[in-house]
Every structure is written in C-alpha cells, then in structure tokens.
Structure 1
Amino acid sequence: MDLSPDILTRGESAVLTLRQLYEGYGYRRYRIEKFEPYDLYRENRNFLNEETAITFPDSRGRLMALKPDVTMSIVKSYEPGAGSAKWHYAESVFRRGRGGDFREIRQIGIESLGGDPLYAQAEVLLLALRSLAVFSGDFVLALGHLGLLARALEGVPLTEAVLDCVRHRNLHDLMRLIGEERAQPLARLMRLPQEPVRALEAIREVFPDRGAEKELSELEDLCGVLEASGLGGRLRLDFSVVQGLDYYNGLFFQGFVNGLPRPVLSGGRYDNLLEKLGKPSAAVGFAVYLAELDALFRDGPRPVDIALIDECPDLRAVLGRVDAWVREGLRVRVCRTRAEAGGAASVRRIDAAGEIREEGRS
C-alpha cells in the first residue's frame, strides 16, 4: 500500500519535506543515541544554555546524560582530516529547565562543518529561509553578526549584561553600563531600517574607520545571495537576536513566524565549539524547534471515510469487506452502534447475512 500524503499529519508532512530539502543539498541523515557519558557536557557546559543535562548512573557506575544537545554530538564525531561534512537530523533532546522540570525538545536541523565558510553560510541561510517557508508564508529571518557588534563597542567587553540590553533594545541601561558616547554606534545598530539594502547602508555608516571591512563584505555578500534567491524580502538585519557568546563567533540568526510568540528557528556560526574540542574548522548550522510550531499543526480529529456498523457474525466477511475498502485507499472504522460512527463521511451497516446497506452520513 502506498503512503498517501493525507495519512500524515501536517507536522509529519513538514518534517518529511524538510528532510527532502536538506538531502537535496547533500546533507546526510545523522542519528544519535538517546544518552551518552556526561563528561562531554560537563567539560563544555559553557556551550549549552542555562538548562542542564538530565543525568543518571549506569550499571557500571558511569554518570550518563540524556542527550541535551545534538550539535555537540555531531561535532564530537566529526573528523576534519576527512574533509567537510554536512548532516541533517530530526531528534529530541532532553533538558532540565530552570524550575527543575524535565523537558523534551523536538528539533530538526542541519550542521555544515569544514569546507568554504562563505559558501556554507550562504547555503545554510538559504535553507533556513526555505525551512521557514515550509511552515508559513508569513515569516522573517533576523540576521546579525557578532564581529560587527564587537567592533561597534570598540573594546567594551561583550558581557551578558551588555548583550541583554541589546536583546531588549534597552538603550537607557546600555548607556548607564558603558556610557552614552560609547553606546552610540551600538544604538545605531539597534535602529536599522527593515529593508536589507538600506540596513547595509546604515551599517556601513557606523563603521567608516573601525576596521570592519571583512565583516561588512561578508554580510553584504550573504545578503546579495539571498536577494538573488528571491527570498531577500524575508530577511531582516537585526542585532537584537544575538545569542550565546561562548557558542557563536560570527553570524547569528533567528527565524520567526507571524502569530507565534517565540523564535521557531535559531542558528549561526560556531567555530568556537570546534576549536574547544581540538577540531579547528568553520561550522554553521541551525535547528527548527518543532514544539514552537505545534500551534500550526493542531489537526482536528481525522474523520474516517466509512463507518461500518457490524451486525454480522461472520468475522471473515466483515474483515474481508473492510480490507477491500482499505486497499482502495479509504479509511474505515468498524463499530457496534450508529453513535460510534460520529464524523464519518459515510455510514454503512453489514447485517447478519453479510449484506451491506448505505445509511447516509453520520
């Protein structure tokens, strides 16, 4: 029996569409174990967010962790000497939240390790935009650059307190922390026009003599590629979506879908993690948070095509008739009473003699 698209939920169909998209660009499926020794996460805690791993001892006394992160597992298995690697995954990770509650976080995403950094970033950004388009026609990818943020501050440490002001566009507290004059370049980055072309012009005006040509050229190249793809209108330059300093070292971005309160996609360039694990290479990727998209996938109860009220003692006759309908691609439910047939497109009855008659809709 062929797998008909209408058998899948909208969420399942979206995941399969994304997997096909990523496979088309040469990304291979990566599968992870649900748990592994905790040492990897203990030694790299600064690359995880504030949530902590869920741990337990195994039969040999080793401390194990339910997988709190996919990227770290992929990087652990990466061998730079073998060349570049491109992986996609659809996995759950498990974390302990701030309140101590356990969380399962369903993700689908890609990681591109090694290879040409500029091409990898362009490809990953394009796939991020196309991933968002799978879920909605009304979305935005907000893009920033940690290198430009650092240059805007001219040596002011990028502390979490400073970044928190940037994330919340809190100029008042930013000026209090670093002074009004030093905050001005960053304040201008926080007030960029929406259109990428005008935003790039405004960014160039912030850095006339700050040695930011490399970062500016990279950002302009990437925006140009996305504009040529036809998706430039969905791109916004927005430095308020800056993420972890320990994790990201250049490009960072988040994806938003209209009507949903939180980002549904997050990613960036994370060479720092590979450097920390002794595998110096360029690395960029993103994850789509499927739980954030659940509101788009609330499929109602799926109606059956035929509800068959069974009054026949001949089990073979009943099952044979049901099997024939199923082979035709119909959804069938056998029930004892008409009350159980609610929602069916057609209600039929098989009597004691094995005869079937139509009873209309439920």
Structure 2
Amino acid sequence: MKFNINTPEGTRDRLFAECQERRQVQAKLTRLFRQRGFLEVSTPETEFYDLFARSGSAIPQERMIKVGDPSGKFCVMRPDSTTPIARVAATKLKAVAMPQRLYYDQTVYRANPAHNGGSREIPQCGVELIGAKGKKADVEIIVTAIDALRCCGAPKFHVELGHAGYFRELAGRLELENSAVEEIRALIEGKNFAALKDFLEPYRGNPACAALEQLSRLFGGVEVLGQAEKLAGKTPAVDYLSELYDELSAAGYGPYIRFDLGMVHQIDYYTGVVFRGYVEGAGDAVLSGGRYDNLVGIFGREAQATGFAVDVDAVARTLPEMVLPVLRTVVHYEPGYLAQALEAVDGRPAGTCELSPCRTLESSLNLARDKGAEMVLVLDKDGERTVRV
C-alpha cells in the first residue's frame, strides 16, 4: 500500500536559511522582552476546548484544531497563547505580586478555510502585562510592540491604534439591541457600505449614525481623531487615544503611530486600546494586541491586562534573505586525531568547515568535490596538510 509522503494542508517543511531567519527573529524578540523585565512562560500545545469556549476566546470555534484525548474530553491544539497564560497567572502565579510581565515563544495552531493557502502553524513571540491598568501600562505595551518590530530590522512599518470603546459608545447612543449591534459590527468589519447605510437609515438624525457610517474610513494620521470628534462629538475613547499619542510622540514614537477607528474585530474580547502592526512587504498585520481586562478574572483572579503577539514568520519574510555560509574545507582525519579535527572545525566560521565521515583520503576528496569545497584538511601521523580539490 502506497503511503502519502506529503505534509497535511496548512503545514510544510522549512529548510536551511528559512529556519535561521525564523530563529534570528525569535532571538531578537526574546532578548528585547527579557531586557524589559518580562519572564518566559510556556503552556501545553493541547488544551481542553472548554478553556477557550468559556473564556470568550478571540479565536472562533471553527478555527480551532480538534484532537482526541484519552480521557474522552474534547481538546484543541493551542489556538492562542493569551488565554492559557491568563489561566497560569490566575492559578500557578496566584501568589506572585502584580503586575506580572510574562513573555512566550511558542506556536499556535489554527484551521483555515480549505485551499486558502494559510498556515495552520503560526510561530509567535509575545508579551502579556497582567495586573496593570491605565495609560502607563498601555504606553509600555505599545512602545514594546514598536521596538519589537524595530529590533528585528523590519523595513518601513507602523502601528495602528484603535479603541474598542469607541464603537461601543456610538452603538450605545442608538440604543440598539445586542443583535443589532453585532449586525452593525459585522457590516463595518466586512466593509459592506451599502448594507450599512440601509441599516442606519432610521437613525439618520443621530450624530452617532454618521460616525458609524464612516467608521471603516476613519484611518490615517492623528488628524483622524479630529475627524471622529467632528462626526460624533467628544468621546472618552478618542480623548484617551489622543492622550496616548501625546505621550508616545513626546518619547519619539510618534512617526510610527497611525489610527484606525474601524478596528471592530473581537469587540467582546477587547476592552480598551487595540492595535495592529504592519510592515512593508507583508500582506497583512504581523503584530496584533490590545487590552483585555475581563479575561484573567474568569479563572478566579481579577486582573486587568494588555499584551500583543508577533507573527514570527510574517516578520521574517519581510527581511532580506539570509545568505548561508559556503563550505570551504572538509577535514579528513585518521583514528586518534578526532580532537585535532574538532578543533579545526570549531576554529573556523560556522558552516564553512565540516568533518569527513570517509575512511580514505580519496573518498574525502570526492566528497569535497561533490559539496563544492575548496580543500581537504588532512590530519594524520605525518601532521597537518591541505589538499586542494
């Protein structure tokens, strides 16, 4: 019986330079996180489905990859890291003082619609600041997100800020049922402008109506905040974003900041500032995060929180392609000369020298030719010598 040697849809093998590019991004991100006082945590790759279902996870159920469990309980491959880390903070770290600065470097697994080409395996590096509220905490996370993209050497990039409270306040002014609010949110997120206009027609005299109709177009520089105020008047959310921008600009981060008040995704999950990072050359956001003040409390410990995750592979693809070292020397050694052979390999730049497994010098020379090496270093009873290939 012939077996399938292909990888499952949404997965693939990664080779050589691509692996090094991923590791380089991970190393730079985790170094920054440690420098800023974050400590690493790791959570299981499989979790009980109930963990995400009962916590109001930002990941839809249909995107979770289901797996079996010997206990018979319904499990999923870890679809996001924030929910398990919130559980850890509320249980295993219950005696640890707040705020807790936690970081992770692990893969999340998400199902994609058939044949859309997306990956099921998404390596992420991220941080969670748990037990910290207010402007200082939000500023810290946003500047850490900007510095994360900057330390990776990302080309032109920016971070877009929004606020979950802005949409809630506008919808609240229309005094709508929850189902109607969700319908408006879906129309805005889907950029279905014609249907949105028809839906809002009965509320045309309310200033919030004009703002909701224009919400998906309210993106760009700081001038967007002024446009939002003209449409709907003063709102706490826009005032707060303005305060954040002033603080970020004073610290030199203003050029990296833009605004998108139409970020209405996962509105029941996020409770305050939301943001996404975009890098030139990437087709979608490579970083996302925001404030989620209700999640940790679900696990028995009230704590406001904020954080973000970086898609490691998405960032790596925007960087210059890494050039692998060229093999120049093959070391042929006789029995008893292993120590000298290892010293020769370890004393040269990584990847430019390797040991020969061949018994004869002739075979080592043939190996060097096949690999494109320049020479064979010979170590035997006659000493050390090189033979050009």
TM-score category of the 2 structures, normalised to the smaller one: 0.7 to 0.9
Counterpart for residue 56 of structure 1: 68
How high is the TM-score relative to the length of structure 1?
0.82
Counterpart for residue 235 of structure 1: 257
Deviations 1:254-288, CA, capped at 9 Å, x for gaps: 11111110111111111232344443332111111
From 264, 270, 275, give the equivalent of 1:248: 270
Partner Cα separation in structure 1 for residue 130 and residue 331 of structure 2: 58
Structure 2 unmatched ranges of 5 or more = 1-16, 357-363
Counterpart for residue 114 of structure 1: 131
* SS of corresponding position for 1:76: helix
Evaluate the alpha carbon distance shift between residue 114 and residue 324 of structure 1 in structure 2; reply closer, same or farther with a 3 A threshold.
same
Asked whether the 8 Å contact 2:210–2:232 carries over to 1, the reply is: no
Asked whether the 8 Å contact 1:318–1:354 carries over to 2, the reply is: no
Following superposition of structure 1 onto structure 2, how do residues 132-147 of structure 1 map, counting pairs within 5 Å?
132-135=149-152, 136-147=154-165
From 36, 44, 53, give the equivalent of 1:25: 36
Counterpart for residue 11 of structure 2: none
* SS of corresponding position for 2:271: coil
Letter in 1 for 2:136: Y
From 217, 231, 234, give the equivalent of 1:206: 231
From 233, 238, 249, give the equivalent of 1:216: 238
Evaluate the alpha carbon distance shift between residue 306 and residue 326 of structure 1 in structure 2; reply closer, same or farther with a 3 A threshold.
farther
Evaluate the alpha carbon distance shift between residue 208 and residue 99 of structure 1 in structure 2; reply closer, same or farther with a 3 A threshold.
same
Identity %: 23
* SS of corresponding position for 2:294: helix
Letter in 2 for 1:191: R
Partner Cα separation in structure 1 for residue 287 and residue 181 of structure 2: 24
> Is 1:127–2:144 an aligned residue pair?
yes
Asked whether the 8 Å contact 1:257–1:263 carries over to 2, the reply is: yes
> Is 1:332–2:353 an aligned residue pair?
yes
- 1:356 positional shift: 2.1
Following superposition of structure 1 onto structure 2, how do residues 1-362 of structure 1 map, counting pairs within 5 Å?
9-44=20-55, 46-49=57-60, 50-58=62-70, 60-79=71-90, 82-99=97-114, 103-135=120-152, 136-153=154-171, 154-155=173-174, 156=176, 157=178, 159-179=181-201, 181=204, 183-192=209-218, 194-196=220-222, 198-208=223-233, 212=235, 214-296=236-318, 299=321, 302-304=324-326, 306-308=328-330, 310=332, 314-317=334-337, 320-330=340-350, 331-335=352-356, 336=364, 337=366, 338-342=368-372, 344=373, 346-350=374-378, 355-357=384-386, 359=388
Structure 1 unmatched ranges of 5 or more = 1-5
- 1:250 positional shift: 1.8
- 1:53 positional shift: 4.0
Partner Cα separation in structure 1 for residue 200 and residue 335 of structure 2: 80
Partner Cα separation in structure 1 for residue 169 and residue 193 of structure 2: 18
- 1:17 positional shift: 1.9
* SS of corresponding position for 1:240: coil
RMSD of aligned residue pairs (Cα, Å): 3.1
* SS of corresponding position for 1:9: helix
Evaluate the alpha carbon distance shift between residue 165 and residue 37 of structure 1 in structure 2; reply closer, same or farther with a 3 A threshold.
closer
Partner Cα separation in structure 1 for residue 190 and residue 77 of structure 2: 32
* SS of corresponding position for 1:242: coil
